[in-house]
Amino acid sequence: MSQITHFEIWNLNIGIYLLMLEIKQLCKSFQSGLGERRVILDNLDLTVESSERLAIVGPSGSGKSTLLNLIGALDKPDSGDILLENQSVLKQFDKELASYRNREIGFVFQFHHLLSQLTVKENILLPILAREQRVDAQLLQRADYLMERLGIENLHKQRPSQLSGGECQRTAVARALINSPKILLADEPTGALDEASSEQLTELLLQLNKEEEVSLIVVTHSMKLASRMDKIYRLTNGKLQQQ
């Protein structure tokens, strides 16, 4: 009789948890202005491991944001599947999809999308307030921790109009991480920042990726940012090619 050793069980666990995201044969097309359908993503495959960092580069209009929106369940593909820890994201009901977006995925965009009437701390807590009536002490502590970690603790009462671009983006990163997501999706996170703020944000994203054990997918036109990731993929003709 074959016996399963502790080593094999350990290996099995590693095998299960290493694969965070699996994208299979993903297709997406849009209706063009002339009425015909344009294929943007064409049987695209991708796997992302737990805590892995990857960059997606490619020409403007190649479908990078479209791909992130599909991973974040902000849009639905024509066909194909997206699995998060082996569970199909697309087969979930709308209610679960909202919870997936809220809890499993963190988003950072080129422009921060902070709410102007809320303070820094309220903006960071917004993903929690979207699903719960009140914020418990543990999450308030986490917001304080993230603000400290991102160097914005002294700004907690400020509103977005009183912040620099870099401070807004750091607030957006704290908001994206408040629910301890499994994947952080960043679409041109440094695109609107100066050199020094870009450097600072890049360093923080890399540090937090390790500390929070969150997989990081960054879309960028900056080869400087892309080269800091574990892998770089180029999106052209609807497919990803590792560089």
Ligand X SMILES: Nc1ncnc2c1ncn2[C@@H]1O[C@H](COP(=O)(O)OP(=O)(O)OP(=O)(O)O)[C@@H](O)[C@H]1O
Contact positions vs Mg ion (CB under 5 A) = 65
Q: How far is the CB of 2 from ligand X (least distance, A)?
A: 49
Give whichever of 65 and 202 is closer to Mg ion, judged by the CB atom. 65
In the chain the first and final C-alpha atoms are separated, in Å, by 46
**Given the structure tokens 């929070």, which residue do they identify?**
212
Residue 210 contacts residue 31 (beta carbons within 8 Å):
no
Q: How far is the CB of 65 from Mg ion (least distance, A)?
A: 3
Give whichever of 65 and 222 is closer to Mg ion, judged by the CB atom. 65
Give whichever of 123 and 222 is closer to ligand X, judged by the CB atom. 222
66 makes contact, choosing from Mg ion, ligand X, none, with CB < 5 to 8 Å by partner type, with ligand X
3 makes contact, choosing from ligand X, Mg ion, none, with CB < 5 to 8 Å by partner type, with none
Q: Which residues bind ligand X (CB under 6 A)?
A: 30, 40, 58, 60-66
138 makes contact, choosing from ligand X, Mg ion, none, with CB < 5 to 8 Å by partner type, with none
Count Cβ neighbours within 10 Å for each residue of 95-122 and write b for 16 or more, e otherwise. Answer: eebeebbeebbbbbbbebebeeeebbbb
Q: How far is the CB of 210 from Mg ion (least distance, A)?
A: 26
Q: Put residue 9 in one of left, alpha, beta given phi > 0 → left and psi -120 to 50 → alpha.
A: alpha
Helices marked H in the chain: 6-18, 64-71, 94-99, 120-129, 137-149, 165-177, 195-211, 223-226
146 makes contact, choosing from ligand X, Mg ion, none, with CB < 5 to 8 Å by partner type, with none
Give whichever of 66 and 209 is closer to Mg ion, judged by the CB atom. 66
Give whichever of 34 and 137 is closer to ligand X, judged by the CB atom. 34
3-state secondary structure of 165: helix
149 makes contact, choosing from ligand X, Mg ion, none, with CB < 5 to 8 Å by partner type, with none
